[in-house]
Amino acid sequence: MPTICKKCVLPEAPPGIVFDELGVCSLCRAHERLEAKQPGRPPLETDFIKLLDRKKGKGAYDCLVMCSGGKDSTAALYYMARRYKMRILAFMFEHGFETLEARANVERAVEILGVDFLFFKSSYLMPMFKRLLETGSNAVICHPCSIWYMDLAFDLAARFRIPFIVAGWTKGQSTDQDAMSKGGCSLHSPEFAAMGRATQEFLDGALKDLPQYRTFPRTMEEVLKRARKKFKSTVVSPHWFLPFDQETYVELIKKELGWEQIEFSYPKGSTNCTLNFISVHNSMRDFGYTHYHVEASKLIRAGVLTREKALRDLAIDFDKETLNRIAKKLDYRFD
């Protein structure tokens, strides 16, 4: 196991992440300097309400809520419906690796909340996933998927002229639209630079003989550029503005929406597709950490997650047999 930062859960990964003589990473030190120089005011719920009120009630839908069936997106859906009284189109996709339990969570929630629901099932990404594994690329599987998902979301928002796209992103996943670039592996962030280069190299070079990906966006920035030409939608998350911790809203959605925790998922306590296990395995192999380690480290710096809990949640508790069971859909096997 690599040595990790004494304050967060990131390993040393030069040149983006380096340790000082006390074993603290450069990202934690940069955060300390920023806070000392310009302590940030946390986003307030009043800011969020003002933002929503400017565009609320002007179309068939006020917001498109991206749903995974996990606690964060389910709570976001609940808050947008019950707390903010928004007219909602809920959206979930199935790319071949979503769990039945996650889908059941979403279907139960939209039924109870009485919101419109669009479920999109597609095998479009399967050849891309297969090619990524066969070539041995160190591109992060989750990132082309997130690029595709956000492109779909912007297309839907443009189709129905929906002003807000709502995600279940936490404070560890940024507090503004820039979170999308991070989800697509931003080359401009030290913790994602190596991952971003690997993903872009794969998208640029490994798919040229697959015509279905000729117009596939190469970066999240390209997704945003395309979206601005169609219809201007703002991506937000209520979790950036609300003071509630996960324990609070998990109990709420269990009681109000019958939400159930998915047992077979990584990190512990999350709800992710099964392909995520392969993505995590490959990221640990290629980089020594995953985007979940980045998110957890940001939450630790924000004071909303302890390092000890993060280490427990991020512990690898699956084996090669699990990977091969999932990879069988792609006719691939880990030796």
Decide if pLDDT at 9 tops 50.
yes
| Average per-residue pLDDT for the chain | 91
CA distance 21 to 33: 17
Query: In percent, how much of the chain has pLDDT > 70?
Result: 94
With contact defined as beta carbons under 8 Å apart, do 294 and 152 qualify? no
pLDDT digits (tens, 9 = 90+) for 23-80: 999 999 999 998 888 766 778 999 999 999 999 999 999 999 999 999 999 999 999 9
Domain at 45-240, CATH class: alpha beta
Decide if pLDDT at 2 tops 80.
no
Q: In the numeric block, which tokens belong to residue 188?
A: 């401009």
pLDDT digits (tens, 9 = 90+) for 194-236: 998 999 999 999 999 999 999 999 888 899 999 999 999 999 9
pLDDT digits (tens, 9 = 90+) for 280-323: 999 999 999 999 999 999 989 988 899 999 999 999 989 999 99
pLDDT digits (tens, 9 = 90+) for 144-166: 999 999 999 999 999 999 999 99
Give which of 64, 111, 118 is closest to 87, Cα–Cα.
Answer: 64
pLDDT given for residue 270 in this prediction: 86
CA distance 276 to 286: 15
pLDDT given for residue 55 in this prediction: 94
pLDDT given for residue 65 in this prediction: 98
Q: What angle do CA 270, 72, 62 make, to 5 degrees?
A: 150
pLDDT digits (tens, 9 = 90+) for 233-268: 999 999 999 988 888 999 999 999 999 999 888 988
Query: In percent, how much of the chain has pLDDT > 90?
Result: 79
Interacting residues of 116 by C-beta distance below 8 A, sequence separation 6+: 61, 88, 89, 90, 110
pLDDT given for residue 184 in this prediction: 46
pLDDT given for residue 186 in this prediction: 61
Task: Quickly state the pLDDT bin for 180 (edges 50, 70, 90).
Answer: very low
Average pLDDT over residues 324-335: 96
Decide if pLDDT at 179 tops 80.
no
With contact defined as beta carbons under 8 Å apart, do 13 and 48 qualify? no
Average pLDDT over residues 85-102: 96
- Please write down the HEC assignment for all residues of the chain: CCCECCCCCCECECCCECECCCCCEHHHHHHHHHHHHCCCCCCCHHHHHHHHHHHCCCCCCCEEEECCCCHHHHHHHHHHHHHCCCCEEEEEEECCCCCHHHHHHHHHHHHHHCCEEEEEECCCCHHHHHHHHHCCCCCCCHHHHHHHHHHHHHHHHHHHCCCEEECCCCHHHCCCCCHHHHHCCCCCCCCCHHHHHHHHHHHHHCCCCCHHHCCCCCCHHHHHHHHHHHCCCEEECHHHCCCCCHHHHHHHHHHHHCCCCCCCCCCCCCCCCCHHHHHHHHHHHHCCCCHHHHHHHHHHHCCCCCHHHHHHHHCCCCCHHHHHHHHHHHCCCCC
Average pLDDT over residues 125-131: 97
Average pLDDT over residues 108-118: 98
Domain ranges of the chain: 1-40, 45-240
